[in-house]
Amino acid sequence: MYLFRELEDKVLNVFGKKIIIIRGPRRSGKTTLLKRIKELKGGEYITFEDPITIEAFLRDPIEFIRERGTPLYLDEIQYLGEDGARALKLIYDKLGQEPIIVSGSGAFDIKMNLLKYLVGRVYIFDMLPLNFGEVVEWKSKEASFLYSQGHKKIYGIFKGKDKLPEKSESLEKLYEEYCVWGGYPEIVITKDRELLSSLVTTTIEEDIIKYFSLRESKKLWNVVKRLAVITGNLLDYSSMGVSYATAQEYISILERSFVVKTLPTFSTNKLIELTKREKVYFYDSGFRNQLIGIFSGIRERPDGGATLENSIWVQLQEYGNVSYWRTKSKAEVDFIIGMEDGSVIPIEVKLTGKITPSLLSFIKKYQPDIALVLSKDTFEKKVDDTMVYGVPYYYI
């Protein structure tokens, strides 16, 4: 049974206008989405896991397409290499805006030099693990309705036009599961640690170590595990157990492979922002939990705050540019959202709701219209000219 993904509507909105590329980590639902759109739009699905199919495509990509017609859904294009990127450019140049969707795992776009050949010719979408709203929709229609209403209120609060959403025990319980198991579709359904272990191992071994021909696999594994331990903390490349240059290379590959993301510091001076240390988060909490071997709830584990913070970072991607704020005196605000209109919203993530001295420092310096404290608690408080809202974290 197909379960809805939010990316479906975005892809359908541009279907047939340019080549569509869907990238993301393995097992995040890319193949399922391709087959879903095939059901809706017709056409043929082809995977490049078969060497014979690869040979036929690269030998004469134009004839390959004409024989099969369009719409055409080409999966696992990471196996094509740079010749595949050249072939896709040729297809676009010769056949024009045919409805073709291609998909691949990990950082295939780096290895294939994809954008070098296809800049301006493609729409690129990232298929990531399920966000919390999608998890709730999969789990419970009743809880999904509650989440949807509360989530809309967040946007209303951003505009100063809505009231705080009410607490929900059912959503709190589901969010606890989300923090533990993450959002990979099969893991959401099964909660199977062996399956999650296999997914983590295959991602690291196949999509990174083998794909990028990294010779010292043990060092890469050590770096990934160190990053899992320091999630939510400042990143120090010199403490990764490898040379500074190697740490930078590994972390860059991990970022492009949708394993981790480094978060910049917020500053109104972009030169200062570029020189300050980053924080690191994982695209999926379950993936991180497998690396550190802890699957207890956020209130029963020593890194509960960091685990909650990581899951919130995942949710914040839809709102705007995300950074964090830290001063020389070590005042720190977990997240700063840069909105399209140029305004900023500081966000603190806490197991228990309170306005921290660090948040007060940010408010005093930047005077934002609103600030959020994400916890189990709800409150509203005026601080100077800033409205501070305590919002249940499961609505963000």
Condensed to tens digits (0 to 9), the pLDDT of residues 115-140 reads 788 888 889 999 999 999 999 999 99
Tell me, yes or no, whether 224 and 205 share the same domain: yes
Which of 95, 126, 157 is the last residue before a domain boundary? 126
The answer to whether residue 218 is domain-embedded is yes
Residues of the chain with pLDDT > 70, as a percent, come to: 98
- pLDDT at position 270 is 58
Confidence of residue 316 (pLDDT cuts 50, 70, 90): very high
The answer to whether residue 219 is domain-embedded is yes
Tell me, yes or no, whether 79 and 173 share the same domain: no
Walk across the sheet containing 332-338 and list its strands: 321-326, 332-338, 344-349, 370-375, 386-392, 379-383
Tell me, yes or no, whether 185 and 215 share the same domain: yes
Phi, psi torsion values for 45, nearest 5 degrees: -100, 130
Tell me, yes or no, whether 63 and 191 share the same domain: no
Whole-number Cα distances in Å, 22 to 75, 103, 212:
9, 5, 20
Tell me, yes or no, whether 374 and 245 share the same domain: yes
- pLDDT at position 273 is 46
Q: Is the pLDDT of residue 160 over 50?
A: yes
**pLDDT tens-digit profile of 108-117?**
877 777 878 8
The CATH number of the domain holding residue 35 is 3.40.50.300
- Host domain of residue 44: 7-126
The answer to whether residue 384 is domain-embedded is yes
Judge contact between 361 and 119, C-beta under 8 A: no
The answer to whether residue 173 is domain-embedded is yes
Higher pLDDT, 318 or 176: 176
Tell me, yes or no, whether 150 and 116 share the same domain: no
- pLDDT at position 189 is 95
Mean local confidence (pLDDT), 335-339: 94
The answer to whether residue 2 is domain-embedded is no
Mean pLDDT of the chain: 92
**What distance in Å separates the CA atoms of residue 280 and residue 98, rounded to the nearest whole number?**
39
**pLDDT tens-digit profile of 353-369?**
889 999 999 999 999 99
**pLDDT tens-digit profile of 34-70?**
999 999 999 999 999 999 999 999 999 999 999 999 9
Tell me, yes or no, whether 178 and 163 share the same domain: yes
The answer to whether residue 1 is domain-embedded is no
Mean local confidence (pLDDT), 74-82: 91
Q: Is the pLDDT of residue 274 over 60?
A: no
Tell me, yes or no, whether 224 and 297 share the same domain: yes
Confidence of residue 241 (pLDDT cuts 50, 70, 90): very high
Tell me, yes or no, whether 203 and 257 share the same domain: yes
Q: How many residues does the chain have?
A: 396
The answer to whether residue 289 is domain-embedded is yes
Q: Is the pLDDT of residue 142 over 50?
A: yes
The answer to whether residue 200 is domain-embedded is yes
Tell me, yes or no, whether 280 and 194 share the same domain: yes
Which of 73, 107, 126 is the last residue before a domain boundary? 126
Mean local confidence (pLDDT), 243-255: 95
- pLDDT at position 98 is 81
Tell me, yes or no, whether 142 and 240 share the same domain: yes
Q: Is the pLDDT of residue 272 over 60?
A: no
Tell me, yes or no, whether 15 and 116 share the same domain: yes
Q: How many domains does the chain have?
A: 2
Which of 79, 95, 126 is the last residue before a domain boundary? 126
Whole-number Cα distances in Å, 384 to 80, 161, 292, 381:
58, 19, 42, 10
Mean local confidence (pLDDT), 153-181: 91
- pLDDT at position 17 is 87
